Amino acid sequence: MSAIDTFDGDSIRSRLLAYLHGQVGGDVEIGPLKRYTVGFSWLTFGFNAKWNEGGARIERDLILRLGPPSGIFAPYRATPEFLTLQSLAGSGVPVPRAYWCCDDSEALGAPFFVCEFVKGDAPVPWTADGGPAFDETARLNLGDQFLGALAALHNFKWRSAPVAGIGGATDLAQTARSQIAFWEERMRQWSTRRYPMLEWALIWFRARAPIAQRISVVHGDYRIGNFLELDGRISAILDWELVHLGDPMEDLGWICLQAWRGRLPYMCHLFTREELKSKYEALTGTKVDASALHYWEAFGTFKLAVMHLGASYCFETRDFNDLRMAGMGAQLPRMLLQLESVMERAA
């Protein structure tokens, strides 16, 4: 049995119930845990819970996310995502309500957090025929909402909110160098093999590191596939595991990755590069520097290539029993070609 398989619903339900007893009192009930296969990192379960709050009986559909010891970003911390969701509640960024979190493994065997279940489907970039994920009406509608939520995130007054404690770079001159160091450390951790393209990229990034115009909360994985859509509306932005303080241009560059659009002209299947720039500038009042956007697109491609290394490492070495991880490892050569292409275009 692999490490990932030890975290099944039956094995953690009783421990979760005991934890919730301590949080809301003895009169709490939870239903069976349903495992979701979405995501490549945290383990996700859905369940129904009932408890007393303010003299009333509360019933909620909830999501439990566990960071397994064998996962790609182990050892995990639930606090950054939890503080982000708490801080953004009621803002212009649609996020699930956060309920509880724990960074140690005593309660459930791994760090975890609990948030509300939000209805909706997560559109993905990989269509059967390689064509667009949306018709023109949906593209324009969802694209405006997607950028509206991103603008609200980047304009969020984070300094006086709990999210100020999530970590990252708050020096305008160090945002890029901070991310270079973060992802180089993971590259060395996940592979003893040296890839010339990745080594060249590190030199390239250090030589061209831009100075940020401002510091914001950076989602870190803002793209198609990480939001829920319900009846034409984006109901929630998900997957905040890479959230940090830094240069907001990092999120814009990530949106532009070829991995999220294939050969289509629409970034994340939602808007052209020029539409992204003009609409973002209008929403935030921040000028999008073309060279900085290209830099962060190239860096995002490097980051995704390193993630592919991590996926392969978890499958081969940490016994993370998920064939999608093996599949990501097999895609590394393609990622290296994409990295070369975007670096040459941004030079």
Task: Evaluate the CA torsion angle 236, 263, 42, 80 in order and state its sign.
Answer: negative
Q: What pLDDT, in 10s, does the model give residues 274-319?
A: 999 999 999 999 999 999 999 999 999 999 999 999 998 888 887 7
Structural tokens at position 101: 């979190």
Q: Would you state the pLDDT for residue 318?
A: 78
Q: Which residues contact 124 (CB under 8 A, 6 or more apart)?
A: 133, 224, 225
Q: Would you state the pLDDT for residue 6?
A: 61
| Residues of the chain falling short of pLDDT 50 | 1-3
Give whole-number Cα distances, 219 to 160, 194, 243, 250, 274, in Å. 18, 29, 5, 9, 21
- Burial of 261 from C-beta contacts in 10 A (0-12 / 13-18 / 19+): buried
CA distance 10 to 33: 7
Q: Would you state the pLDDT for residue 1?
A: 39
Structural tokens at position 298: 């190239």
Domains (ranges, CATH) in the chain?
4-116 (3.30.200.20), 136-346 (3.90.1200.10)
pTM of the model: 0.95
Q: Would you state the pLDDT for residue 121?
A: 96
Q: Are 270 and 143 in contact (CB under 8 A)?
A: yes
Structural tokens at position 200: 């060249």
Q: Would you state the pLDDT for residue 112?
A: 97
Q: Which residues contact 33 (CB under 8 A, 6 or more apart)?
A: 9, 10, 12, 13, 16, 45, 46, 47, 64
CA distance 34 to 31: 9
